[in-house]
Amino acid sequence: MSTAELNDLLQSLGVSLALALVTTVILLLLTPPLAWWLARSSSRLRAPVEALVALPMVLPPTVLGFYLLLAMAGEGFLGEAWHGLTAKPLAFTFSGLVIGSVIYSLPFVSQPLAASFRTTSDTLLEAAAVLGDSPVRRFLRLVLPLHRRALVAAGVLGFAHTLGEFGIVLMIGGNIPGETRVLSILLFDQVESLNYAAAHITALLLLGFSLLALTVTYSTLSRRP
Amino acid sequence: MSLLISGQLARRSEFRLDVDLDIPSSGVTAIVGSSGSGKSTLLRCIAGLEGRGSMSVALDGEIWQDASSFVPAHSRALSLVLQEGALFPHLSVHKNLLYPRTRRRGFCLTPEQVVARFGLTPLLQHKPSELSGGQRQRVALARALLAPARLWLLDEPLSALDGPARRALAPELALLCRDLGLPIIYVTHTLSEVLQIADHMVVLDKGSVLSQGSPAEVSIGLSHALSEDIDLGGILGCRFHAFDPLHNLSEVRVGTTAMWIRGDLSSLGVNLRVQIPADAISLSLHRQEQISVLNQLPCTISKIGQPDSGSVLVNLDCEGQTLQARITVLSQERLALATGQRVYALIKTIALTTRETRDDVTAQ
């Protein structure tokens, strides 16, 4: 492997890890209240919202990427709002990628969380209430600690899924080295240019990450609470 | 000073609760009823966990809920101990005890006080899953005392425990209720749990109040109306006299008459209440000398009820207290029993100990 190839690999690895990390942190802040609502609400809105959240699991990433690209363009509503806030464009930037990744990985974090939240015993919640905890304090002091394993597992899944993202990055991030070129895009480039030796290393790296993430997830979830 | 609860609670067009209660907000009020009688639902309404919009609850003039307002459970100055204890499984005993943190005003103890009172020091680092049922319930009681409250609610605090754990915790709980100085509402389907401590009793059946008053008042006249599992019989107030360890019998006095009850009752205090089921009493016109029955109480027949499928309830006045005996109509005819007649109530000591529900009163 040449120095240039190694630099490309490390640069893309850096972008991938940064993207996955930022996305996971944002998701772990946003998702728990949403997952709690999905798990516990009897509202009529629950089913449509749940469907909307799950959409990225079934939709081709290119479809999602296409709509996001339109929204993030200079005259799109996201692009315009972002430009108003930061005076910078959103499409083909790292920030744009983060927004896309958050939407794309949302179901992978919210679904295991909601599944775990559904098992919360009403008796424990009632006990916390009569001990003086408001609903918000119950959520922060009882629900989140009770489901800490599910939180870890959901975070790892979100992280791994963001690392493996391809179609949506291609649509809204393009292929800018050091900014938006993630590992999966690098692999695509390497195969396109018939550089199979380098492609092997990139592919192996992604494979290793995914396997590790899933192992961590399953061993965390299967341990006794 | 009282706790007012009124309203109707329906689910699927079926009334689960239809009450209008005025409970004194001092001392121990026992709510007794069989399963499905609505007693737990009533407690949950008081706690603010159920009955929003349909039940009215007010403590000492402070409205907790009515048709238009609702104070959420966490803002009500009350403490509730749930059936299974509801300890937080991911926290150690120590952290469970430190959980209550609220700006609510009311009475509460410090962690040091409850740890000492319930002997929890060796358990502090354990997880709830490592505790026995009795230990878990002790921790739950201790934890409930750490949240400021003006009212204490106990929902079948002993129901999840087996015989030995029950017998160990029951007197401790009774002592706690007497010491606390907070109004307590104690829900149970086992009368014996509250017999020694209840100042006021409410009997629920199918969601409505069947009877309320002092335990002695309530117990008389209910024998027909209650379901089998809470057959009250009569309740006799008596004084502890002595314990005979050789025969494992406690001698108590009803007025001047001596009576024997199995087990050591000395720990229950001087004034005792003994529950005597109507079926455990036989009547005799004379004192019997050659008979195994130890307890023979002289009484006067104060009332004879209506015959019901061959049996009849006879009210007996015993030193100013009322007992009830259920005898056959045939016996009544043979002895020619009539109101005002002097008789002896024969009560087998064993009859006071054989039924599980009376276990903890007589065999502690």
CA–CA dist A90, A73 (Å, integer) = 7
Whether residue B193 is found in the same domain as residue B287: no
**Would an 8 Å CB–CB cutoff place B73 in contact with chain A?**
yes
Strand partners, B327: B312
Three-state DSSP class for residue B188: strand
Contacts of A142 by beta carbon, 8 Å cutoff, 6+ apart:
A124, A125, A128, A133, B88
The reply to whether A69 falls in a domain is: no
CB B219 within 8 A of CB B29: no
CA–CA dist A187, A151 (Å, integer) = 31
The reply to whether A72 falls in a domain is: no
Q: Which residue of A has its CA nearest to B97?
A: A131
Which chain A residues are within 8 Å of B84, Cβ to Cβ? 123
Q: Which of A126, A132, A142 sits opposite B88 (nearest CB)?
A: A142
Three-state DSSP class for residue B81: strand
The reply to whether A80 falls in a domain is: no
What is the mean pLDDT of the segment spanning B218-230?
55
CB B17 within 8 A of CB B38: yes
Q: Determine which of A117-131, A210-224, B139-153, B317-331 has the lowest per-residue pLDDT on average.
A: A210-224
CB B282 within 8 A of CB B337: no
**Would an 8 Å CB–CB cutoff place B137 in contact with chain A?**
no
Whether residue B255 is found in the same domain as residue B120: no
Query: Number of folded domains in chain B?
Result: 2
Which chain A residues are within 8 Å of B76, Cβ to Cβ? 130
To the nearest whole Å, the CA of B356 is away from the closest chain A CA by 28
Whether residue B219 is found in the same domain as residue B240: no
Nearest to B270 by CA among B133, B164, B178: B178
Whether residue B187 is found in the same domain as residue B240: no
To the nearest whole Å, the CA of B97 is away from the closest chain A CA by 11
Q: Exposed, middle or buried: residue B93 (CB in 10 Å: 0-12, 13-18, 19+)?
A: buried
CB B134 within 8 A of CB B165: yes
Instruction: Give which of A120, A125, A130 to mutate to test B binding, by max B Cβ within 10 Å.
Output: A130
To the nearest whole Å, the CA of A86 is away from the closest chain B CA by 42
Q: What is the DSSP string of B236-290?
A: EEEEEEEEETTTTEEEEEETTEEEEEES--GGG-SEEEEEE-GGGEEEESS--SS
Mark which of B180, B208, B226 sits at the end of a domain: B226
Q: What does the DSSP 8-state code read for residue B73? A: G
Nearest to B139 by CA among B151, B148, B131, B149: B131
The reply to whether A156 falls in a domain is: yes
pLDDT band at B227 (very low <50, low <70, confident <90, very high): very low
Q: How many residues does chain A have?
A: 225
B216, pLDDT greater than 80: no
Chain A residues with CB-CB distance to B under 8 A?
121, 123-124, 126-134, 137, 141-142, 145-146, 148, 225
pLDDT at A223: 72
pLDDT at B357: 33
- Residue-range definition of the domain harbouring residue A208: 3-57+94-222
A35, A38, A41, A44 alpha-carbon torsion, rounded to 10°: 150
Mark which of B226, B246, B279 sits at the end of a domain: B226
Pull the structure tokens for residue A140: 């922060």
What is the mean pLDDT of the segment spanning A197-201?
93
Whether residue B288 is found in the same domain as residue B180: no
Q: How far is CA B87 from the centre of its chain?
A: 24
To the nearest whole Å, the CA of B77 is away from the closest chain A CA by 8
HSE, CB side, 13 Å, CA atoms: give it for residue A63: 6
**Would an 8 Å CB–CB cutoff place B72 in contact with chain A?**
yes
Nearest to B180 by CA among B81, B33, B274: B81
Pairwise CB contact (< 8 Å): B84 & A123: yes
What is the mean pLDDT of the segment spanning A166-176?
87
Whether residue B196 is found in the same domain as residue B174: yes
Q: How many residues does chain B have?
A: 364
Contacts of B198 by beta carbon, 8 Å cutoff, 6+ apart:
B28, B29, B30, B186, B215
Pairwise CB contact (< 8 Å): B99 & A124: no
Per cent of chain B over pLDDT 70 is 91
> Mind listing the pLDDT tens digit for each residue in A6-21?
898 999 999 999 999 9
B15, pLDDT greater than 50: yes
B358, pLDDT greater than 50: no
CATH number for B114: 3.40.50.300
> Mind listing the pLDDT tens digit for each residue in B166-185?
877 877 887 788 787 788 99
- Residue-range definition of the domain harbouring residue B38: 2-226
CATH number for B314: 2.40.50.100
Whether residue B82 is found in the same domain as residue B219: yes
Which value does ipTM take for this structure? Answer: 0.81
Q: How many other CB atoms are found less than 10 A from the CB of residue B241? A: 15
CA–CA dist B112, B109 (Å, integer) = 8
CB B191 within 8 A of CB B232: yes
B206, pLDDT greater than 90: no
Start-end of H helices in B253-348: 329-335
Whether residue B153 is found in the same domain as residue B198: yes
Higher-confidence residue: B191 or B247? Answer: B247
- Hey, what amino acid is at B90? H
Q: How far is CA A145 from the centre of its chain?
A: 22
To the nearest whole Å, the CA of A113 is away from the closest chain B CA by 17
pLDDT at B207: 86
Query: Number of folded domains in chain A?
Result: 1
CA–CA dist A96, B240 (Å, integer) = 83
CATH number for A39: 1.10.3720.10
The reply to whether A64 falls in a domain is: no
Q: Exposed, middle or buried: residue A167 (CB in 10 Å: 0-12, 13-18, 19+)?
A: middle
Nearest to B276 by CA among B227, B315, B330: B315
Which chain A residues are within 8 Å of B49, Cβ to Cβ? 126, 129-130
Pull the structure tokens for residue A39: 């798990």
Whether residue B199 is found in the same domain as residue B284: no
pLDDT at B351: 66
Whether residue B213 is found in the same domain as residue B192: yes
CA–CA dist B66, B6 (Å, integer) = 9
Pairwise CB contact (< 8 Å): B74 & A134: yes
- Hey, what amino acid is at A103? I
CB B218 within 8 A of CB B203: yes
Q: How far is CA A65 from the centre of its chain?
A: 14
Q: Which of B74, B84, B90 sits opposite A133 (nearest CB)?
A: B74
Which chain B residues are within 8 Å of A134, Cβ to Cβ? 72, 74
Pairwise CB contact (< 8 Å): A141 & B99: yes
CB B37 within 8 A of CB B211: no
CA–CA dist B175, B196 (Å, integer) = 10
CA–CA dist A100, A171 (Å, integer) = 10
Whether residue B57 is found in the same domain as residue B145: yes
> Mind listing the pLDDT tens digit for each residue in A90-99?
888 999 999 9
CA–CA dist A90, A93 (Å, integer) = 6
CA–CA dist B117, B128 (Å, integer) = 19
CA–CA dist B153, A178 (Å, integer) = 63
Mark which of B193, B226, B259 sits at the end of a domain: B226
Whether residue B190 is found in the same domain as residue B222: yes
Per cent of chain A over pLDDT 90 is 71
